[in-house]
Amino acid sequence: MAQIFAYIVHKGGVADDSALELITAAKKIDAGANVTAIVAGSGADLDKVCNEMTESYKEVYKINSEAMAYPNAEVIRKALVNILPADCICLIPHNTFGMDMGPGLSIKMDSAYVSDVVAIEGIEGSTLKVIRQEFGGQVSTHVDCDISSGAIVTVRPGPFPPDESKGAGGQVVDKSGDIGDISAKRKYLETVLQEAGDVDITKSDVLVSVGRGIEDEENIELAKELAEAMGADVSCSRPIVDAKWLDKSRQVGTSGQTVKPKVYMAMGISGSFQHLGGIKGSPFIVAVNKNPKAPIFQVADVGIIADILEFMPELTEVLNESK
Amino acid sequence: MEILVCVKRVPDTEENEIELNSEGNDIERDDLVYSVNEWDNYAVEEAIQLVDEHGGSVTVVTVGDEESEEVLRREMAMGAEKGILVSDDSFENADGKGIATILKSIVEKGNYDLILTGAQGDAGAAEVGGMLAALLDLPYASLVNKIEVTGDTGLKVGREVEGGDQEMNEISLPCVLSIQTGINEPRYVGIRGIRKVASVEIPTLSASDLGLAADSVGAGAAKIKKVDYFLPDLGEGAEMLEGSTDEIIEKLVEMLKAKGGLQ
């Protein structure tokens, strides 16, 4: 059985939620696996995360370098190529870091690469059997991955519940001396924080959230009118911000805001996992969409198959009349 | 600045309902409308804007069948000067590394300062750009939502990271970048624009033109194989409200009242 590693993403001395989800994923590959955590970083933050991980992982590889104070994918990839044994399976969260590092790591390790895995069915011989999604989550696919020369697997945040069992009593193994040449042609400068907008949607109890189904900038008005009738705020999915129809501060999703409303009205939103990743706290989700196969209907509490351009004004009218 | 942009012809899944074919080994493609992958279109627009400001030219390349030529023409109508179609039966069922290997041979035939891909395609793998960079030993940044030319040898690039924050990096040229949507506003392409480039010759290159052994990039070399397609388990799914619009709205308003959705 190939050795399994889990790459721990962390920030400010705290491990990302994915750190414990990867244990669950690893156990789907091999129920008896002794998974090794890899934590790269520098200083006190690194030690804090390593110690935290010893509660959940039997073995924690610590990679300490000034150059890793910020997780530069090129720097960390070079170190991992020197530290990871050939033919291992390395799990990485499918987030903005995993997407940045994973593909190149697989090339340099000469390993298979399978990304954004949502389920793992196990191993048969040298084949790892996983499930992925395509076409924005509308279709799933069984994928066979040849792991005879190892595999880099990026795991979607969310579908694998965190392994909270703790009590692993793990050891930290300092691998900092094995990183080799980590000089890079890409240098991290700074992080520019998202500017606050006129409305803080993270504090809203009710959101009328619009997606591609709004079709045209002038139709945003329909969402604003509905929001006003409901006493809600307007938020949106990524395409609306890409089109510059609403400010980025109103975007719900992993690359936007994380919201925790009581009620979430998904209007013409297909429901990509990046969008759903920004909705927390189990709100009551109402989805209105023309496409009966839109993935949003899998997660919504209530679904209505309709054109939002017709449905929203009618709902607005009924609400205004009853006032 | 010589820029190569890698593009792909994909089904437009926003406008189409995706169904499975009867064998379950693919989606039903007959009635689908195809277009350029959305992320790639932003990449082409970005390349054109860079060339407008700093000189040079944009080349678009795609790996696909004959029909993929329409996507190249569309991007040339936007302002890309040259198009390259890479097509060979032996490429069928190539995995991400196979596609990256094909693109590597294209990059090596040219003299590019910058290579752009979309951040992801229809399979959502987000892998080809990073693999291509590693195969070429060039620096790479993914999910790029800002490019600033800082000199002859470098760029300042912004990456979109969690929470809408932007991670700024310096990166040396040549390099590979994968482009996130929203980096710019891609120009509109009309029928007239496409007509203008209708007669421009687009070379088609095969595996042997690129010196690629038939079994080095296709199904035989692929470590990743799709077994079948299936519709996701809907689980409980949503309670679908049916009936007339009035009935649906009445039910919905009741639910919203109960859940605190009407403030």
The CATH number for A4-178, chosen from 3.90.550.10, 3.40.50.620, 3.30.930.10, 3.30.70.380, is 3.40.50.620
Helix (H) and strand (E) counts in chain B: 6, 13
Write out chain A residues lying below 8 Å of B234, CB-based: 297-298
* Average pLDDT, 10 consecutive residues per value, chain B (263 residues): 97 80 87 94 98 97 96 97 97 96 97 98 96 98 97 93 95 98 95 93 96 89 95 79 95 95 86
Whether the bond into B174 is cis, omega within 30 of 0: yes
Q: What is the pLDDT of residue A174?
A: 98
CA–CA gap between residue A84 and residue A100 (Å, rounded): 18
Judge whether A251 and A237 are in contact, CB under 8 Å. Answer: yes
Q: Is residue A5 within 8 angstroms of chain B, CB to CB?
A: no
Contact flag A311-B245 (C-beta cutoff 8 Å): yes
DSSP designation for B173: S
Alpha carbon of B54: minimum distance to chain A alpha carbons (Å): 22
Contact flag B182-A242 (C-beta cutoff 8 Å): yes
Using a CB cutoff of 8 Å and minimum separation of 24, what contacts does B235-238 make? B235/A298, B237/A297, B237/A298, B237/A300, B237/A303, B238/A285, B238/A287, B238/A297, B238/A298, B238/A299, B238/A300, B238/A301, B238/A302, B238/A303
pLDDT tens digits, one per residue of B131-181: 999 999 999 999 999 999 998 889 999 999 999 999 999 999 999 999 999
Q: Are strands A119-124 and A127-134 parallel, antiparallel or unpaired?
A: antiparallel
Chain-centroid distance of CA A99 in Å reads: 10
Domain A201-321 of CATH type 3.40.640.10: no
Q: Is the pTM of this model over 0.90?
A: yes
Beta bridge partners of A276: none
**What domains lie within chain B, and their CATH numbers?**
2-221 (3.40.50.620)
So what's the ipTM on this one? 0.95
CA–CA gap between residue B194 and residue B59 (Å, rounded): 16
Write out chain B residues lying below 8 Å of A305, CB-based: 240
Task: Kindly list the domain boundaries of chain A, sorted by start residue.
Answer: 4-178, 201-321
Contact flag A262-B253 (C-beta cutoff 8 Å): no
Contact flag A132-B164 (C-beta cutoff 8 Å): no
pLDDT tens digits, one per residue of B38-63: 999 999 999 999 999 999 999 999 99
